[in-house]
């Protein structure tokens, strides 16, 4: 495809100067006389010349660009992490390229292939659900094997050696369930729309530990299924059939959404009070002020992920890899 883009080569021919002289003039090199620099800069301005930053990056060997791969952008959690990453990178002179994996290994692999083909200095990633469920991390390890700095967040795996950012999933779940118990709940159901994600398993362990602490006065039931529809149907049936259920601990935002919908219906039909705690966001809290929300501090996760990656780029793998834990709060 033909292009009218003004290049160094075109300026070189127009002014009868070498490409090297043109480049050095535009970079204000002391090797070039002031007269020549003025002539080149004026001509470049008249032609509305803009530098090819990508080509310059290849010549320098670095791009000052970071790649981010996330499962989706519709989830407010990932959206806030993106904001945290972009803000920190911008403050430190880096640009951000973002791709969506759609929780697909195939798309995740394509994103990695494009990004690591000289376009970024490092990658930040939340691994796709498909990769976690299949325990297929070859495409993730290819980043490390190519010597490209990598930081994981949220969904991480022990099989890939790199810097990682997490929250204390066990502790956050434990604290949330304790809050439900202290508010008077005697029978709490934990709801999870998946059985195999590591951080969800840690949240289940936190739930069970809190129940064990009060085993003589509090009952705990776990609903862990493989689809959000089955979760909704099972939770709805359980609450309707068992009037002793007065609390729900939801393991992620989708589970919280279903619990809130069922709570509204049950409280209207049976005049019962159901209390809910879970990993949620500000929007869901605004819909039901009684919701006990675990604020995962997504902005901080993003900032810490970017910070770790830029540090890794600077030290060039000369320091041990670290796993940073971001604090969470109940709201």
Calculate mean pLDDT across residues 278-289.
Answer: 83
Q: Which of 200, 214, 209 is nearest to 154 (CA)?
A: 200
What tens digit of pLDDT does each residue of 60-109 get?
556 899 999 999 998 889 999 999 999 999 999 999 999 999 999 999 99
Give me the pLDDT at residue 4, please: 64
What tens digit of pLDDT does each residue of 97-153 get?
999 999 999 999 999 999 988 889 999 999 999 999 999 999 999 999 988 999 999
Per-residue pLDDT at 2 exceeds 50: no
Give me the pLDDT at residue 19, please: 86
Give me the pLDDT at residue 58, please: 53
Per-residue pLDDT at 274 exceeds 60: yes
Let me know: does 249 contact 176? Beta carbons within 8 Å: yes
What tens digit of pLDDT does each residue of 10-45 get?
888 999 999 889 888 888 888 999 999 999 999 988
Cα maximum dimension of the chain: 90
Give me the pLDDT at residue 317, please: 64
Q: Domains in the chain and their CATH numbers?
A: 8-51 (no CATH), 63-161+298-330 (3.40.50.2300), 169-295 (3.40.50.2300)
Return mean pLDDT, the chain. Answer: 90
Tell me the pTM: 0.81
Give me the pLDDT at residue 211, please: 98
H-helix segments, 214-329: 228-241, 253-270, 282-287, 298-315
Q: What does the DSSP assignment read for 17-41?
A: --HHHHHHHHTT-TTS-HHHHHHHH
- As a whole number of angstroms, the distance between CA 256 and CA 283 comes to 11
Let me know: does 8 contact 15? Beta carbons within 8 Å: no
Backbone angles phi, psi at 326, to 5 degrees: -90, 135
């Amino acid at each position: 495809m033909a292009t009218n883009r003004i290049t160094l080569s075109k300026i070189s021919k127009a002014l009868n100067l070498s490409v090297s002289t043109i480049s050095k003039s535009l970079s204000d090199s002391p090797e070039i006389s002031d007269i020549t620099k003025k002539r080149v800069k004026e001509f470049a301005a008249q032609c509305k010349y803009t530098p090819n930053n990508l080509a310059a990056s290849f010549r320098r060997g670095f791009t000052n660009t970071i790649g981010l791969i996330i499962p989706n952008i519709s989830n407010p959690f990932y959206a806030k992490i993106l904001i945290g990453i972009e803000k920190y990178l911008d403050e430190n002179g880096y640009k951000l390229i973002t791709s969506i994996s759609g929780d697909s290994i195939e798309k995740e692999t394509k994103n990695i292939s494009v990004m690591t083909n000289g376009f970024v200095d490092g990658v930040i990633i939340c691994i796709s659900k498909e990769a976690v469920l299949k325990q297929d991390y070859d495409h993730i390890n290819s980043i490390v094997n190519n010597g490209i700095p990598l930081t994981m967040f949220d969904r991480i795996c022990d099989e890939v050696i790199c810097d990682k950012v997490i929250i204390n999933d066990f502790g956050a779940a434990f604290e949330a369930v304790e809050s439900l118990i202290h508010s008077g709940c005697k029978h709490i159901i934990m709801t999870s729309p998946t059985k195999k994600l590591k951080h969800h398993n840690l949240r289940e362990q936190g739930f069970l530990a809190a129940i064990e602490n009060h085993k003589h006065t509090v009952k705990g039931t776990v609903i862990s299924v493989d689809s959000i529809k089955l979760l909704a149907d099972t939770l709805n049936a359980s609450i309707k059939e068992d009037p002793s259920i007065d609390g729900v601990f939801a393991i992620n935002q989708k589970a919280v959404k279903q619990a809130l919908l069922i709570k509204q219906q049950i409280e209207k039909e049976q005049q019962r009070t159901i209390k809910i705690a879970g990993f949620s966001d500000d929007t869901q809290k605004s819909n039901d002020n009684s919701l006990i929300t675990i604020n995962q501090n997504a902005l901080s996760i993003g900032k810490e992920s970017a910070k770790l990656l830029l540090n890794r780029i600077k030290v060039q793998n000369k320091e041990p890899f670290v796993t940073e834990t971001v604090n969470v709060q109940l709201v």
